Amino acid sequence: MIPFLDLGAATAELRAEIDEAMARVLDSGWYIGGGECERFEEDFAAYCGARHCVGVGNGLDALELSLRACEIGDGDEVIVASNTYIANWLAVTAVGATVVPVEPDPLTHNLDPALVEQAITPATRAIMPTHLYGQSADLDPLLALARKHGLRLIEDAAQAHGARYKGQRVGAHGDAVCWSFYPGKNLGALGDGGAVTTNDPELAAAIRRLGNYGSSRKYVNEVRGTNSRLDPLQAAVLGVKLRHLDAWNARRAAIARRYLAELPTERLILPVVPDFADPAWHLFVVTTPKRDRLQQQLADGGVQTLIHYPIPPHRQQAYADQAVATARLPVAERLAEEVLSLPIGPQLIEQEAARVIEAVRRVDHGAVA
Ligand SMILES: *Cc1c(COP(=O)(O)O)cnc(C)c1O
């Protein structure tokens, strides 16, 4: 079986460097904060072209702490994508604000700025695009809308490490850019981890304080914060992996190029990459009305695939008691039934990519046709 993603192989490739980094932390006797965290924060900020990076416990916390640092809460509305992973919805509702879902462009799967503009009301406080599947949303029009209406732009970049927008890396466009280092991400830890990058020193300080018990001086608690910190072991591992991120993303891009050139297009819609985007290829997502049969046939042919995501957030039981549960979001609902993610990753070798293509070709001319 060709696995969807082989995390063991990723660790094995860097095993010596990871061992050395972890041993350094073990020997340091320092297990929360400290130099390892500071060094990774500096390196990742520099990588993103941002002035600040604040490590936090995970991607969901990065989103929630960013909203809290922007003082968004009760009575406020936040615009989110209807087809995103549920994390940014959960962050919005966790701070007491209301999600206002907007449908994506059905080809890029990212927020459509024209529809975002129509959704802005006097209660809107922020726009929260997700750079879905590792491809940047169209940031310039979203930034212009945010400026025009006095809104915050808080980006969910959990899938977009190394992705570029108009040649510039994602991570320094919006007020706060939120990252996850969940193991399967392009930059993944060996456990949970997250960060926020920003050019705003006040926002950076506020997020750091909120994630550290609301305290910027030990035992002095200025606000009611929480505990959400990136730990030094993960920071050390991430520092190692950051050095390989561009090379590993280039391997993903090579697979994506090959899929784009060789997968059959009669019955499959392949990813559409706008001129402004240089994706990190976190996922390679094809769309077909016969998705479930395609997935089954690929499994029979030895190719593991996943669905990102099978149930749109407004149809989740988690939101069954909210007004948004009955929202009409036909694009998100259709995409949930039609998207399929093919294997892609830095450790997927050329022969495996060729076998994936072969398996899709066989299916396409067979039962799915
Ligand atoms: C992974 C992911 C998150 C959340 O990450 P965690 O670190 O698991 O909390 C948020 N948004 C998107 C789009 C993601 O893919």
CA of 266 to the centre of ligand 1 (A): 33
CA distance 89 to 30: 35
Check whether residue 232 and residue 181 sit in a common domain.
yes
Check whether residue 194 and residue 208 sit in a common domain.
yes
Locate 197 and state its tokens.
Answer: 């990058």
pLDDT at 267: 84
pLDDT at 228: 98
Q: Of 242, 262, 287, which one is at a domain's C-terminal end?
A: 242
pLDDT at 27: 98
pLDDT at 366: 53
Provide the whole-model pTM: 0.97
Domain count of the chain? 2
Ligand 1 pocket mutation pick from 56, 92, 156, 341 by most atoms within 8 angstroms of CB: 156
Judge whether 354 lies within some domain: yes
Helices (DSSP H) in the chain: which residue ranges?
A: 7-13, 15-28, 35-48, 59-69, 87-94, 113-119, 139-149, 201-210, 232-242, 245-262, 291-300, 330-338, 350-364
Check whether residue 42 and residue 118 sit in a common domain.
yes
Check whether residue 83 and residue 208 sit in a common domain.
yes
CA distance 115 to 101: 10
Cα–Cα separations (whole angstroms), residue 70 to 92, 176, 205, 239: 12, 9, 12, 28
CATH code at 249?
3.90.1150.10
Check whether residue 249 and residue 217 sit in a common domain.
no
pLDDT digit string (tens) for the chain, length 369 residues? 999 999 999 999 999 999 999 999 999 999 999 999 999 999 999 999 999 999 999 999 999 999 999 999 999 999 999 999 999 999 999 999 999 999 999 999 999 999 999 999 999 999 999 999 999 999 999 999 999 999 999 999 999 999 999 999 999 999 999 999 999 999 999 999 999 999 999 999 999 999 999 999 999 999 999 999 999 999 999 999 999 999 999 999 999 999 999 999 998 999 999 999 999 999 999 999 999 999 999 999 999 999 999 999 999 999 999 999 999 999 999 999 999 999 999 999 999 999 999 999 998 555 554
For residue 131, give the ligand 1 atom closest to its CA: 13
User: Dihedral, CA atoms, 146, 90, 281, 184, nearest 10 degrees?
Assistant: 150
Ligand 1: which residue has its CA nearest to atom 4? 59
Check whether residue 272 and residue 129 sit in a common domain.
no
Residues with CB under 6 Å of ligand 1 are 58-60, 85, 87, 130, 156, 158-159, 180, 182, 192, 194
Question: In this structure, are residues 103 and 82 in contact, taking their beta carbons and an 8 Å threshold?
Answer: yes
What is the extent of the structural domain holding 358?
Answer: 245-368
Q: Of 223, 242, 261, which one is at a domain's C-terminal end?
A: 242
Ligand 1 pocket mutation pick from 60, 67, 89 by most atoms within 8 angstroms of CB: 60
Q: How many helices (H) and strands (E) does the chain have?
A: 13, 12
Judge whether 143 lies within some domain: yes
CA of 194 to the centre of ligand 1 (A): 9
Judge whether 2 lies within some domain: no
> How many residues can be counted in the chain?
369
pLDDT at 369: 47
CATH code at 219?
3.40.640.10
Q: Of 211, 242, 273, which one is at a domain's C-terminal end?
A: 242
CA distance 202 to 94: 22
